[in-house]
Amino acid sequence: MPSPQADVTIVIVNWNTRQLLLDCLAALPAATEGIKAETWVVDNGSVDSSVAAVQEAFPEVQIIANSDNRGFATANNQAIRASDGRHVLLLNSDTIAQPASITRLVHFLDAHPDVGIVGSRLLNADGSLQRSWALFPNLLTELVGKKLRLRWRYPTINGTIAYSTDWIDGAVLMIRRGILGQVGLMDERYFMYTEEVDWCYRTRQAGWKVCYLTASEVIHFGGQSSKRSATRMKAELYLSKLRFFGKHYGDLARTTLGVGLQTIFLGKATLGGIILLATAAKHPTGHAFTRDGALLLMAVQRHTWRRPVAEEIR
Protein backbone atom coordinates (compact mmCIF):
# COMPACT_ATOMS: atom_id res chain seq x y z
CA MET A 1 0.00 0.00 0.00
CA PRO A 2 1.53 3.36 -1.03
CA SER A 3 2.34 5.80 1.76
CA PRO A 4 0.08 8.86 2.04
CA GLN A 5 1.13 11.99 0.16
CA ALA A 6 3.25 14.37 2.22
CA ASP A 7 1.74 17.70 3.17
CA VAL A 8 4.97 19.40 2.22
CA THR A 9 8.18 18.60 0.39
CA ILE A 10 11.08 20.49 1.98
CA VAL A 11 13.93 21.18 -0.44
CA ILE A 12 17.31 22.32 0.88
CA VAL A 13 20.06 23.21 -1.59
CA ASN A 14 23.54 22.89 -0.12
CA TRP A 15 26.98 24.03 -1.19
CA ASN A 16 29.72 23.53 1.40
CA THR A 17 27.67 24.46 4.49
CA ARG A 18 27.97 21.11 6.28
CA GLN A 19 27.40 22.14 9.90
CA LEU A 20 24.73 24.71 9.05
CA LEU A 21 22.93 22.04 7.03
CA LEU A 22 23.01 19.56 9.91
CA ASP A 23 21.66 22.21 12.29
CA CYS A 24 18.94 23.09 9.79
CA LEU A 25 17.85 19.46 9.45
CA ALA A 26 17.87 18.93 13.23
CA ALA A 27 15.26 21.68 13.66
CA LEU A 28 12.76 20.22 11.17
CA PRO A 29 10.90 17.69 13.40
CA ALA A 30 9.73 20.45 15.75
CA ALA A 31 9.03 22.81 12.83
CA THR A 32 6.78 20.23 11.11
CA GLU A 33 4.94 18.86 14.14
CA GLY A 34 1.44 17.66 13.25
CA ILE A 35 1.96 17.40 9.49
CA LYS A 36 3.57 14.86 7.16
CA ALA A 37 6.77 16.23 5.65
CA GLU A 38 9.43 14.79 3.37
CA THR A 39 12.88 16.35 3.13
CA TRP A 40 15.21 16.48 0.15
CA VAL A 41 18.77 17.78 0.17
CA VAL A 42 20.27 18.70 -3.18
CA ASP A 43 24.03 19.02 -2.87
CA ASN A 44 25.79 21.11 -5.51
CA GLY A 45 29.19 19.43 -5.55
CA SER A 46 30.26 20.17 -1.97
CA VAL A 47 33.76 19.16 -0.92
CA ASP A 48 33.18 19.37 2.86
CA SER A 49 31.61 15.89 3.33
CA SER A 50 28.11 17.35 3.55
CA VAL A 51 26.50 14.37 1.81
CA ALA A 52 28.16 11.77 4.01
CA ALA A 53 27.27 13.71 7.15
CA VAL A 54 23.59 13.89 6.19
CA GLN A 55 23.48 10.21 5.27
CA GLU A 56 24.88 9.30 8.66
CA ALA A 57 22.85 11.68 10.85
CA PHE A 58 19.58 11.79 8.90
CA PRO A 59 19.15 8.55 6.90
CA GLU A 60 15.49 9.37 6.20
CA VAL A 61 16.43 12.44 4.13
CA GLN A 62 16.38 12.02 0.36
CA ILE A 63 19.63 13.19 -1.25
CA ILE A 64 20.47 14.30 -4.78
CA ALA A 65 24.25 14.63 -5.04
CA ASN A 66 25.35 16.69 -8.03
CA SER A 67 28.94 16.50 -9.18
CA ASP A 68 29.13 20.26 -9.67
CA ASN A 69 27.38 23.49 -8.68
CA ARG A 70 24.29 23.68 -10.86
CA GLY A 71 22.86 26.79 -9.26
CA PHE A 72 19.93 27.40 -6.94
CA ALA A 73 17.03 27.16 -9.40
CA THR A 74 18.22 24.02 -11.17
CA ALA A 75 18.93 22.23 -7.90
CA ASN A 76 15.53 23.06 -6.43
CA ASN A 77 13.80 21.91 -9.60
CA GLN A 78 15.56 18.55 -9.42
CA ALA A 79 13.93 17.80 -6.07
CA ILE A 80 10.58 19.31 -7.02
CA ARG A 81 10.35 17.02 -10.04
CA ALA A 82 11.32 13.96 -7.99
CA SER A 83 8.89 14.59 -5.11
CA ASP A 84 5.12 14.82 -4.72
CA GLY A 85 4.26 16.74 -1.53
CA ARG A 86 1.08 18.83 -1.73
CA HIS A 87 3.16 21.95 -1.16
CA VAL A 88 6.85 22.67 -1.76
CA LEU A 89 9.05 24.56 0.69
CA LEU A 90 12.35 26.05 -0.41
CA LEU A 91 14.51 26.28 2.70
CA ASN A 92 18.05 27.62 2.83
CA SER A 93 20.66 25.52 4.58
CA ASP A 94 21.59 28.51 6.77
CA THR A 95 18.22 28.61 8.52
CA ILE A 96 16.79 27.31 11.78
CA ALA A 97 13.03 26.83 11.45
CA GLN A 98 11.32 27.53 14.76
CA PRO A 99 8.79 25.09 16.30
CA ALA A 100 5.58 24.78 14.23
CA SER A 101 6.85 27.34 11.69
CA ILE A 102 6.49 25.04 8.67
CA THR A 103 3.25 23.56 10.00
CA ARG A 104 1.77 27.06 10.12
CA LEU A 105 2.74 27.74 6.51
CA VAL A 106 1.00 24.53 5.38
CA HIS A 107 -2.14 25.36 7.36
CA PHE A 108 -2.13 28.90 5.97
CA LEU A 109 -2.07 27.70 2.36
CA ASP A 110 -4.74 25.10 3.09
CA ALA A 111 -7.02 27.74 4.63
CA HIS A 112 -6.54 30.44 1.97
CA PRO A 113 -7.11 29.04 -1.54
CA ASP A 114 -6.27 32.32 -3.30
CA VAL A 115 -2.68 32.30 -2.00
CA GLY A 116 -0.06 30.65 -4.20
CA ILE A 117 3.09 31.45 -2.22
CA VAL A 118 3.69 32.16 1.46
CA GLY A 119 6.85 32.91 3.41
CA SER A 120 7.93 33.13 7.03
CA ARG A 121 8.98 35.99 9.26
CA LEU A 122 12.77 35.86 9.04
CA LEU A 123 14.93 36.74 12.02
CA ASN A 124 18.63 37.51 12.29
CA ALA A 125 20.77 35.48 14.67
CA ASP A 126 20.24 38.11 17.40
CA GLY A 127 16.45 37.88 17.04
CA SER A 128 16.03 41.16 15.16
CA LEU A 129 13.73 41.33 12.14
CA GLN A 130 15.14 40.52 8.71
CA ARG A 131 12.89 42.21 6.16
CA SER A 132 12.21 39.55 3.56
CA TRP A 133 9.45 41.09 1.44
CA ALA A 134 9.39 43.83 -1.21
CA LEU A 135 7.71 45.24 -4.27
CA PHE A 136 8.95 44.15 -7.67
CA PRO A 137 12.09 46.04 -8.77
CA ASN A 138 12.10 49.02 -11.10
CA LEU A 139 14.89 51.08 -12.65
CA LEU A 140 15.04 53.56 -9.78
CA THR A 141 15.19 50.97 -7.01
CA GLU A 142 17.89 48.99 -8.80
CA LEU A 143 20.11 51.97 -9.57
CA VAL A 144 19.92 53.40 -6.04
CA GLY A 145 20.11 49.95 -4.46
CA LYS A 146 17.02 50.29 -2.28
CA LYS A 147 14.04 47.92 -2.25
CA LEU A 148 10.51 49.20 -1.62
CA ARG A 149 9.52 47.17 1.45
CA LEU A 150 5.75 47.61 1.12
CA ARG A 151 3.06 45.15 2.16
CA TRP A 152 -0.66 45.17 2.80
CA ARG A 153 -2.66 43.42 5.52
CA TYR A 154 -4.15 40.22 4.14
CA PRO A 155 -7.65 39.31 5.45
CA THR A 156 -7.15 35.89 7.05
CA ILE A 157 -10.05 33.64 8.02
CA ASN A 158 -8.91 33.24 11.63
CA GLY A 159 -7.38 36.59 12.47
CA THR A 160 -3.78 35.42 11.99
CA ILE A 161 -1.58 38.35 11.01
CA ALA A 162 -0.45 38.03 7.40
CA TYR A 163 0.46 40.45 4.65
CA SER A 164 0.20 40.48 0.89
CA THR A 165 3.21 41.72 -1.06
CA ASP A 166 4.89 41.34 -4.45
CA TRP A 167 7.68 38.91 -3.58
CA ILE A 168 9.30 37.19 -0.63
CA ASP A 169 12.82 35.95 -0.01
CA GLY A 170 13.61 32.48 -1.32
CA ALA A 171 15.31 31.51 1.94
CA VAL A 172 11.91 30.29 3.18
CA LEU A 173 9.31 30.12 0.42
CA MET A 174 6.39 27.71 0.25
CA ILE A 175 4.48 27.30 -3.02
CA ARG A 176 1.29 25.39 -3.68
CA ARG A 177 2.28 22.46 -5.92
CA GLY A 178 -1.07 22.60 -7.66
CA ILE A 179 -0.17 25.89 -9.37
CA LEU A 180 3.11 24.69 -10.88
CA GLY A 181 1.34 23.53 -14.03
CA GLN A 182 0.17 27.12 -14.44
CA VAL A 183 3.23 29.16 -13.42
CA GLY A 184 5.99 26.63 -14.11
CA LEU A 185 9.07 25.64 -12.12
CA MET A 186 11.92 27.99 -11.27
CA ASP A 187 13.64 29.51 -14.30
CA GLU A 188 16.95 27.65 -14.50
CA ARG A 189 18.59 30.41 -16.51
CA TYR A 190 19.08 32.22 -13.22
CA PHE A 191 22.17 30.65 -11.65
CA MET A 192 21.71 32.44 -8.33
CA TYR A 193 19.62 35.40 -7.11
CA THR A 194 16.35 36.90 -8.40
CA GLU A 195 14.90 33.47 -9.26
CA GLU A 196 12.41 33.82 -6.40
CA VAL A 197 11.43 37.30 -7.60
CA ASP A 198 10.80 35.81 -11.04
CA TRP A 199 8.74 32.96 -9.54
CA CYS A 200 6.65 35.35 -7.46
CA TYR A 201 6.19 37.62 -10.50
CA ARG A 202 4.80 34.76 -12.57
CA THR A 203 2.62 33.67 -9.66
CA ARG A 204 1.18 37.16 -9.25
CA GLN A 205 0.66 37.48 -13.02
CA ALA A 206 -1.34 34.25 -12.92
CA GLY A 207 -3.70 35.78 -10.34
CA TRP A 208 -2.38 34.24 -7.11
CA LYS A 209 -1.51 36.09 -3.91
CA VAL A 210 1.98 36.12 -2.41
CA CYS A 211 1.89 36.41 1.37
CA TYR A 212 4.10 36.84 4.41
CA LEU A 213 3.01 35.08 7.62
CA THR A 214 4.22 36.58 10.89
CA ALA A 215 3.25 33.56 13.03
CA SER A 216 5.85 31.43 11.22
CA GLU A 217 9.35 32.37 12.37
CA VAL A 218 12.67 31.18 10.96
CA ILE A 219 16.18 32.28 11.90
CA HIS A 220 18.22 33.06 8.80
CA PHE A 221 21.98 33.57 9.11
CA GLY A 222 22.21 34.72 5.50
CA GLY A 223 24.73 34.49 2.65
CA GLN A 224 26.87 31.69 4.07
CA SER A 225 27.51 30.01 0.71
CA SER A 226 27.92 33.21 -1.30
CA LYS A 227 30.56 34.56 1.11
CA ARG A 228 32.92 31.92 -0.25
CA SER A 229 32.98 33.59 -3.66
CA ALA A 230 31.84 37.15 -3.00
CA THR A 231 32.84 38.92 -6.23
CA ARG A 232 31.47 36.16 -8.45
CA MET A 233 28.21 36.19 -6.51
CA LYS A 234 27.92 39.96 -6.93
CA ALA A 235 28.28 39.46 -10.68
CA GLU A 236 25.61 36.75 -10.63
CA LEU A 237 23.31 39.11 -8.73
CA TYR A 238 23.54 41.86 -11.33
CA LEU A 239 23.30 39.48 -14.27
CA SER A 240 20.15 38.02 -12.74
CA LYS A 241 18.68 41.50 -12.37
CA LEU A 242 19.35 42.19 -16.05
CA ARG A 243 17.75 38.89 -17.00
CA PHE A 244 14.63 39.69 -14.96
CA PHE A 245 14.28 43.11 -16.58
CA GLY A 246 14.69 41.73 -20.08
CA LYS A 247 12.26 38.88 -19.47
CA HIS A 248 9.46 40.86 -17.83
CA TYR A 249 9.98 44.55 -18.70
CA GLY A 250 11.52 44.35 -22.18
CA ASP A 251 14.92 44.87 -23.77
CA LEU A 252 14.85 48.68 -23.52
CA ALA A 253 14.47 48.44 -19.74
CA ARG A 254 17.23 45.83 -19.57
CA THR A 255 19.62 47.95 -21.64
CA THR A 256 18.85 51.09 -19.62
CA LEU A 257 19.55 49.23 -16.38
CA GLY A 258 22.75 47.80 -17.86
CA VAL A 259 24.04 51.23 -18.89
CA GLY A 260 23.22 52.62 -15.46
CA LEU A 261 25.05 49.78 -13.69
CA GLN A 262 28.07 50.16 -15.97
CA THR A 263 28.26 53.85 -15.04
CA ILE A 264 28.14 52.97 -11.34
CA PHE A 265 30.83 50.30 -11.61
CA LEU A 266 33.07 52.52 -13.75
CA GLY A 267 32.79 55.17 -11.05
CA LYS A 268 33.66 52.64 -8.36
CA ALA A 269 36.72 51.42 -10.25
CA THR A 270 37.83 55.02 -10.90
CA LEU A 271 37.42 55.93 -7.23
CA GLY A 272 39.47 52.88 -6.30
CA GLY A 273 42.25 54.03 -8.63
CA ILE A 274 42.23 57.50 -7.09
CA ILE A 275 42.51 56.01 -3.59
CA LEU A 276 45.43 53.84 -4.71
CA LEU A 277 47.23 56.84 -6.21
CA ALA A 278 46.68 58.88 -3.05
CA THR A 279 47.94 56.10 -0.76
CA ALA A 280 50.80 54.76 -2.87
CA ALA A 281 48.74 51.64 -3.64
CA LYS A 282 48.56 50.70 0.05
CA HIS A 283 44.92 51.21 0.99
CA PRO A 284 42.86 47.96 0.88
CA THR A 285 39.69 49.86 -0.04
CA GLY A 286 41.37 51.10 -3.18
CA HIS A 287 42.30 47.59 -4.21
CA ALA A 288 38.80 46.29 -3.47
CA PHE A 289 37.05 49.10 -5.33
CA THR A 290 39.31 48.79 -8.36
CA ARG A 291 39.04 45.00 -8.56
CA ASP A 292 35.29 44.71 -7.91
CA GLY A 293 34.37 47.71 -10.02
CA ALA A 294 36.37 46.46 -13.02
CA LEU A 295 35.13 42.87 -12.80
CA LEU A 296 31.49 43.88 -12.38
CA LEU A 297 31.78 46.43 -15.19
CA MET A 298 33.07 43.77 -17.59
CA ALA A 299 30.39 41.26 -16.57
CA VAL A 300 27.54 43.73 -17.00
CA GLN A 301 28.96 45.03 -20.29
CA ARG A 302 28.95 41.54 -21.81
CA HIS A 303 25.39 40.87 -20.67
CA THR A 304 23.96 44.28 -21.59
CA TRP A 305 24.99 44.21 -25.23
CA ARG A 306 24.39 40.55 -26.01
CA ARG A 307 21.29 39.41 -27.93
CA PRO A 308 17.97 40.23 -26.20
CA VAL A 309 17.33 38.15 -23.10
CA ALA A 310 13.72 37.62 -24.16
CA GLU A 311 14.98 35.51 -27.08
CA GLU A 312 16.74 33.14 -24.69
CA ILE A 313 13.78 32.36 -22.45
CA ARG A 314 10.87 30.15 -23.27
What are the extents of the domains in the chain? 8-224, 229-311
Whose CA is closest to 166, among 197, 140, 190, 145?
Answer: 197
What is the structure's pLDDT at 311? 38
Per cent of the chain over pLDDT 90 is 70
Q: In sequence order, which ranges of the chain are alpha helices (DSSP H)?
A: 18-26, 28-31, 50-57, 72-82, 101-111, 139-144, 180-183, 195-205, 230-248, 251-278, 284-304
What is the structure's pLDDT at 4? 82
- Distant-in-sequence, close-in-space partners of 159: CB < 8 Å, separation ≥ 6: none
Model confidence pLDDT, tens digit, residues 182-192: 999 999 999 88
CA pair distance 86, 76, nearest whole angstrom: 16
CATH of range 8-224; options 3.60.9.10, 3.40.50.300, 3.90.550.10, 3.90.110.10: 3.90.550.10
For residues 220 and 95, the answer to whether their CB atoms sit within 8 Å is yes
What is the structure's pLDDT at 70? 93
For residues 18 and 24, the answer to whether their CB atoms sit within 8 Å is no
The distance of Cα 154 from the centroid of its chain, to the nearest Å, equals 23
The distance of Cα 93 from the centroid of its chain, to the nearest Å, equals 11
- pTM over 0.75? The answer is yes
Integer-rounded Cα radius of gyration of the chain:
20
Whose CA is closest to 92, among 180, 8, 28?
Answer: 28
**pLDDT band (50, 70, 90) for residue 52:** very high
Q: Is 91 exposed, middle or buried (0-12, 13-18, 19+ CB in 10 A)?
A: buried
